Amino acid sequence: MSFPQFILASASPARRQLLQAIGIEPMVQPSEFDEASIAIADPTSLVQALATGKAKVVAQTITLGSEPILVLGCDSVLVLDGEVHGKPGTEAEAIARWQSMRGHVGELLTGHALIDVNRDVTLVRCQSTRVHFADASDPEIRAYVATGEPMQCAGCFALDGRGGALIERIEGCHSNVIGLSLPLLRQMSGELGYDLAAVWLR
């Protein structure tokens, strides 16, 4: 079975690049889902609900045809000392966040919602990766925040960017920290009956 048309319900360049790296050229359709409408304390349930909301908003806009279509929604948060963090709102917040993260270990959670639009089937999963932060100095933190990079990231860092220099090591899925777990995507696609390796045989 050939691999379906793939729609990414996210404007994230990092997620698109991850998909492109494994041979999927996604159609990018950012969701207008209202994230503020979801108030859930449990971080795993939170990212799963947000990912599902994003994917469903996009799936509802699709006109069905004979070709199968998959829609992927994702959302990430960082959990540090039991506190859930999304993207920092200001540079001051980003600096304070880094000062609390340095030398500690956080948990990066990414919710994945994969919808088989034609069959109206939705799979929802969460991937977790432990991140060990370097004991960065105040000048390093201020310089990093000044680049603007951490302002766009749920964990206040980009592993595949300058922030990679401030991460000592990770435990678990590498791509999950960047925005989506490629191994998990392969598993979820397989559960829906689609072999990811078919992309490589086109």
- Residue 69 in 3-state DSSP? strand
| Residue 158 near residue 95, CB atoms below 8 Å | no
Instruction: Report which residue type is found at 196.
Output: L
| Parent domain of 105 | 5-201
For residue 38, the tally of other CB atoms under 10 A from its CB is 15
Q: Per-residue pLDDT for the chain (202 aa), expressed as one digit of tens each?
A: 689 999 999 989 999 999 999 999 999 999 888 777 888 889 999 999 999 999 999 999 998 877 899 999 999 999 998 899 988 999 999 999 999 999 999 999 999 999 999 999 999 999 999 999 999 999 999 999 999 999 989 889 999 999 999 999 999 999 999 999 999 999 999 999 999 999 998 7
CA–CA distance, 42 with 15 (Å, rounded to integer): 24
**Sign (positive or negative) of CA dihedral 98, 102, 106, 108:** positive
Backbone phi, psi, residue 87, to 5°? -70, 140
Catalytic positions, please?
75
**Structure confidence at residue 196 (pLDDT):** 93
Q: What is the largest CA-CA distance in the chain?
A: 57
Specify the CATH number for the domain of residue 166: 3.90.950.10
Angle at 28 between CA 184 and CA 107, to 5 degrees: 40
Count of the separate structural domains present in the chain: 1
Instruction: Report which residue type is found at 80.
Output: L
Partners of 71 in beta bridges: 7, 115
**Structure confidence at residue 38 (pLDDT):** 82
**Structure confidence at residue 39 (pLDDT):** 83
| Residue 130 near residue 170, CB atoms below 8 Å | yes
**Structure confidence at residue 1 (pLDDT):** 63
Residue of 172, 189, 82 whose CA lies nearest to 132:
172
Residue of 132, 118, 129, 114 whose CA lies nearest to 191:
114
CA–CA distance, 199 with 202 (Å, rounded to integer): 6
